[in-house]
Amino acid sequence: MLKAPYERYENLYIYAFREGHPSLRELEEPDLIGYWEEDGLGVLFFHQEKEELVEELVKRLNLTLELKDVIPYAKWNEKRVPHPFVVGPFKIAPLWEKGDFDLIFDPSVVFGEGFHPTTALMLETSWIFFQEKGLPEEVWDLGCGSGLLSLFWAKLGAKVVAVDVNPLCIKVTKRNLELNGLEAEVIEGDVRKLPFFGGELILANLYKGLLLELFNIPSFFTSKYYLLSGFTTGMEEEILQALRDKPVKIEKRLEKENWVCYQLCLS
Ligand SMILES: C[S@@+](CC[C@H](N)C(=O)[O-])C[C@H]1O[C@@H](n2cnc3c(N)ncnc32)[C@H](O)[C@@H]1O
């Protein structure tokens, strides 16, 4: 996340450790962007090179450095450079842009700067959903990333619950809500281990394997509506097959650059 004196991201200095370590979560360092944990890796992102610090951490915490790299921010996230965009009535922009915006956010280094086709589809379908059906009682954002979808729904006035397994996504989402004077419940955790699924509308822009796992959790299909994305046209048959015996029907299908988004409702 951006904190003074940094006002934008230039280069990302990346250090990935096998398994990570709980102490890395508590690391305080002026040049630190954040600590990310996913798929058996703990990853530190800095604005500056941190060889000495990393060496010291490796020794003190008995870490294994798997990878280090430096990447210009403009090449991060498949070169999707964050910039202003519009969804429905809202002008949305990264916090470093000057201008009059309805929502500002720090995209940080997590997923969700707004331009991946799946995020764009989820936002577009959210706006269509709102126009057609109004405000759901509660919206659950599974895999919230930077929190863009949560911001969008919270701005529309919905009660929002956001979940992500990556601790950096949790910090970034909380910060982004704060930046806009919005509120939501933000939970760090694996969506497969949630004690229950709530909300009238569930948003799930996740990868295909995880969607398939969620479909097999009986309590997943107890909400009224679902917006799903994170799968391509090539994966669609498998998704359709998995939904065949589930108590839902597809109300809407949108496609963008080979990525697909479904709006489902309980049948
Ligand atoms: C494709 S991104 C979507 C981000 C955002 N919702 C959007 O539409 O731009 C998927 C997110 O799911 C999170 N994620 C992956 N596996 C997860 C799991 N098992 N439980 C919770 N979150 C998970 C990732 O950390 C990532 O932030």
Low-confidence stretches of the chain (pLDDT beneath 50): none
Between CA 155 and CA 145 the distance in angstroms is: 17
- Does any domain span residue 129? yes
CATH number of the domain that residue 114 is part of: 3.40.50.150
C-alpha of residue 52 to centroid of ligand 1, in Å: 32
Number of domains in the chain: 2
Compute, in angstroms, the gap from residue 142 CA to the centroid of ligand 1: 7
Q: Which residue's alpha carbon is nearest to atom 4 within ligand 1?
A: 145
Please answer whether residues 233 and 170 qualify as being in contact, where contact means their C-beta atoms are separated by less than 8 angstroms: no
Q: Establish whether residue 205 lines the binding site of ligand 1, counting it when its CB lies within 6 angstroms of any ligand atom.
A: yes
Rounded Cα–Cα distance for residues 237 and 175 (Å): 38
Please answer whether residues 230 and 211 qualify as being in contact, where contact means their C-beta atoms are separated by less than 8 angstroms. Answer: yes
Residue 175 resides in a domain: yes
Ligand 1 centroid vs 59 CA: distance in angstroms? 32
114 and 204 share a domain?
A: yes
3-state secondary structure of 206: coil
- DSSP single-letter state for residue 157: T
Using one digit for the tens of pLDDT, what is the confidence trace for 201-257?
999 999 999 999 999 999 999 999 999 999 999 999 999 999 999 999 999 999 999
pTM here?
A: 0.96
Nearest to 216 by CA among 235, 197, 237, 201: 197
Tell me how far apart the terminal alpha carbons of the chain are, to the nearest angstrom.
42
Neighbours of 127 (CB within 10 A): 16
Distance 160 CA to ligand 1 centre (A): 16
Cβ of residue 164 lying under 6 Å from some atom of ligand 1: yes
Same domain, yes or no: 257 and 191: yes
Mutate to test the pocket of ligand 1, among 87, 116, 164 (most ligand atoms within 8 A of CB): 164
Whether omega for the bond prior to residue 5 falls within 30 degrees of 0, making it cis, is yes
Bridge partners of residue 32, in order along the sequence: 46
- 125 and 218 in a single domain? The answer is yes
Q: Is 160 in the pocket of ligand 1 (CB under 6 A)?
A: no
How much distance in Å is there from the Cα of 56 to the middle of ligand 1?
31
Same domain, yes or no: 68 and 175? no
Residue 77: what pLDDT?
86
Report the pLDDT value the prediction gives residue 38, as an integer from 0 to 100. Answer: 84
> 209-231 burial, b for 16+ CB within 10 Å, e for fewer?
ebbbebbeeeebbebebbbbbbb
Which phi and psi (to 5°) does residue 243 adopt?
A: -85, -15
Asked if the structure places residue 100 within a domain, the reply is no
Q: What is the pLDDT of residue 108?
A: 97
Same domain (yes/no): 122, 61: no
Domain of 146, in residue numbers: 109-266
- Domain end position, chosen among 35, 53, 77: 77
